């Protein structure tokens, strides 16, 4: 029986390796397409038309994070920094073709793949976020670990770039077109659940099944009892009991200094464990299909609070709720927004949805139809943490947002960091070209605020103005401008 399971697992791994190879081939093909599209721009200077051209390539080509133009080892034009010059050290200049890297100056702790195409002394360098490749390697197979090896470096499903490949891998498949390798290594070859399923469907051996069930019963009971103390189990119960409560961090209009909205952030205070940080339970919810319930809980809590308080603001207020890829696979989100509208008619409170960067939102017919109906309902879209994770130029084309949020990784220390200033100036310029507003996150000092205002940021969010507060406190603060 175990041998049959091993054979089945191998067949499943072989199928998945081919799927992964085809998906990564498609990503690498997009890099070549982007490079070919940018080649004609090498003939000119890094003027406004060239910068618009390379940003359009990034925006319209799937999976692409950056496009840069080089003379020798000097970057003279890029989709991120515009016309700023950067000289690459000889050992840091990627060779022609595809290369894996464990990070760069912009994102030193995030892997990326570079495609470098040389054209008579000049070259185009296309960057692909390693997250896209990592996402392909995370195929739904918990029994097997998949890795990609290119030019002696290996990328695993955790996003790490290793200088060696796994010598124990049982399967290795090469890409004939791009000369990289996908390897598969079993990490959980046999489990009681899989064995039980195999026996039930193939052997139907009643005597052995009865014996096996009795042998597993004590283990199952023990695990079930211990599960009650796990964070996932507690989170499910917390959602059932409405223990997660919304806090709101104000969003400030730069020009007037008025509070014009807020970001709704769900907080969890466990009866025994106390406050549990969002960075512990939000990823857990995303991994286990609970994130849509958290979105629903936030919308319902806030709508009920607004309905009960009966507060009509002096000006329109937009409350932004975080949504993820899971919210775009059906129309449940639309129904929740409609219910919010029904509970708060003509109140001056508007709905905003912040699309998070952690998991990619696929551009499906369902997602497209949902976005159109949300727009018709008056729901405003914001791209969260622009420039990180999946929040890139593709999202600008896909969602046509009302707001772009500038991540605090770029606003922190912007007063003295020329690279961050260049990035933020380009993000603001893109937003202005697309006629959408910007929200600068992580504003903690007056000097940050002044610098960002001078650069053209339209809105602020951060501890300089207020930490996230309970709904009642937020209602009170909206009556007066914050300092």
Q: Give the per-residue pLDDT at 158.
A: 83
Q: Among 294, 366, 354, which residue's Cα sits nearest to residue 330?
A: 366
Percentages (nearest 5) of helix, strand, coil residues in the chain: 45, 25, 30
- What is the Cα–Cα distance from 466 to 20, expressed in whole angstroms? 45
Q: Give the per-residue pLDDT at 201.
A: 47
Asked if residues 378 and 350 have their Cβ atoms less than 8 Å apart, the reply is yes
Asked if residues 68 and 77 have their Cβ atoms less than 8 Å apart, the reply is yes
Q: What is the pLDDT of residues 134-173, one digit of tens each?
A: 888 887 666 788 999 998 899 988 888 888 766 666 678 8
Q: Give the per-residue pLDDT at 370.
A: 92
Asked if residues 16 and 184 have their Cβ atoms less than 8 Å apart, the reply is yes
- What is the Cα–Cα distance from 410 to 106, expressed in whole angstroms? 9
Angle between helices 130-137 and 2-38 (to 10 degrees): 160
Q: What is the pLDDT of residues 181-236, one digit of tens each?
A: 998 887 655 555 555 554 444 444 454 455 455 555 555 555 544 444 588 889 99
What are the two backbone dihedrals, phi and then psi, of residue 87, each rounded to the nearest 5 degrees?
Answer: -100, 125
Asked if residues 456 and 427 have their Cβ atoms less than 8 Å apart, the reply is no
Element housing 215 (H / E): helix 206-227
Cα 314 to chain centroid distance, Å, stands at: 35
Angle between helices 291-309 and 278-287 (to 10 degrees): 120
Q: Give the per-residue pLDDT at 55.
A: 87
- What is the Cα–Cα distance from 165 to 294, expressed in whole angstroms? 39
Q: Give the per-residue pLDDT at 227.
A: 44
Beta-carbon-side half-sphere exposure of residue 325 (alpha carbons within 13 Å): 16
What are the two backbone dihedrals, phi and then psi, of residue 90, each rounded to the nearest 5 degrees?
Answer: -55, -40
Q: Is 384 exposed, middle or buried (0-12, 13-18, 19+ CB in 10 A)?
A: buried
Cα 10 to chain centroid distance, Å, stands at: 32
Q: Give the per-residue pLDDT at 202.
A: 45
- What is the Cα–Cα distance from 211 to 265, expressed in whole angstroms? 50
Other CB atoms within 10 Å distance of the CB of residue 198: 16
Q: Give the per-residue pLDDT at 230.
A: 82
Q: pLDDT digit of tens for each residue in the chain (483 aa)? A: 556 555 666 778 888 888 899 999 999 999 999 999 999 999 999 998 999 899 888 877 888 888 999 998 899 999 888 888 888 887 778 889 999 988 776 666 678 899 999 988 899 999 998 888 888 888 766 678 899 999 889 998 888 888 876 666 667 888 988 989 998 887 655 555 555 554 444 444 454 455 455 555 555 555 544 444 588 889 999 999 989 999 999 999 999 999 999 999 999 988 888 899 998 898 888 878 889 999 999 999 999 998 888 777 878 899 999 998 889 888 899 999 999 999 887 678 899 999 986 777 887 888 889 999 999 999 999 998 786 655 467 777 788 899 999 989 889 999 998 888 888 988 898 889 889 999 999 999 999 999 999 999 999 999 999 999 999 899 887 754 444
C-alpha angle with apex 256: 375 to 454, nearest 5 degrees? Answer: 95
Q: Among 157, 38, 153, 29, which residue's Cα sits nearest to residue 99?
A: 153
Strand residues in 257-359 grouped as ranges (E): 259-270, 274-276, 317-323, 349-355
Other CB atoms within 10 Å distance of the CB of residue 82: 18
């Amino acid at each position: 029986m175990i041998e049959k399971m091993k054979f089945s697992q191998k067949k499943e791994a072989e199928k998945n390796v081919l799927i992964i190879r085809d998906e990564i081939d498609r990503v690498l093909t997009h890099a070549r397409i982007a490079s070919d599209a940018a080649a004609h721009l090498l003939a000119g200077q890094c003027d406004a038309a060239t910068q618009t051209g390379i940003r359009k390539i990034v925006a319209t080509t799937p999976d692409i994070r950056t496009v840069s133009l080089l003379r020798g080892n000097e970057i003279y034009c890029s989709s991120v920094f515009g016309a700023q010059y950067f000289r690459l050290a000889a050992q840091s200049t990627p060779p022609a073709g595809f290369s894996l890297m464990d990070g760069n100056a912009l994102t030193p702790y995030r892997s990326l793949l570079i495609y470098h195409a040389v054209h008579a002394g000049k070259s185009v360098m296309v960057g692909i976020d390693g997250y896209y490749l990592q996402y392909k390697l995370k195929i739904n197979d918990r029994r097997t670990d998949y890795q990609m090896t290119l030019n002696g470096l290996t990328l695993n499903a955790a996003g790490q770039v290793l200088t060696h490949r796994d010598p124990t891998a049982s399967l290795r498949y090469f890409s004939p077109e791009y000369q990289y390798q996908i390897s598969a290594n079993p990490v959980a070859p046999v489990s009681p659940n899989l064995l039980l399923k195999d026996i039930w469907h193939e052997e139907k051996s009643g005597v052995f099944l009865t014996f096996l069930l009795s042998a597993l019963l004590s283990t199952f009971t023990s695990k079930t009892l211990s599960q009650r103390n796990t964070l996932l189990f507690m989170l499910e119960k917390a959602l059932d009991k409405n223990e997660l409560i919304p806090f709101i961090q104000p969003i400030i209009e730069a020009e007037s200094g008025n509070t014009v909205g807020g970001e709704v952030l769900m907080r969890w205070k466990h009866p025994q464990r106390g406050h549990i940080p969002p960075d512990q339970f939000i990823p857990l919810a995303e991994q286990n299909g609970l994130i849509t319930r958290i979105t629903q809980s936030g919308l319902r809590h806030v709508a009920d609070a607004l309905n009960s308080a009966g507060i009509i603001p002096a000006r329109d207020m937009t409350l932004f709720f975080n949504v993820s890829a899971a919210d775009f696979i059906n129309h449940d989100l639309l129904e929740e927004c409609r219910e919010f509208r029904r509970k708060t008619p003509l109140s001056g409170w508007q709905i905003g949805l912040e699309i998070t960067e952690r998991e990619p939102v696929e551009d499906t017919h369902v997602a497209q139809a949902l976005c159109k109906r949300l727009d018709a309902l008056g729901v405003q879209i914001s791209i969260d943490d622009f420039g990180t994770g999946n929040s890139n130029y593709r999202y600008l084309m896909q969602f046509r947002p009302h707001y772009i949020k500038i991540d605090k990784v770029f606003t922190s220390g912007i007063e003295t960091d020329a690279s961050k200033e260049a990035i933020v100036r380009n993000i603001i310029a893109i937003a202005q070209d697309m006629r959408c507003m910007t929200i600068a996150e992580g504003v903690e000092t007056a000097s940050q605020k002044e610098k960002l205002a001078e650069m053209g940021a339209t809105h602020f969010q951060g501890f300089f103005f207020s930490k996230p507060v309970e709904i009642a406190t937020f209602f009170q603060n909206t009556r007066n401008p914050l300092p």
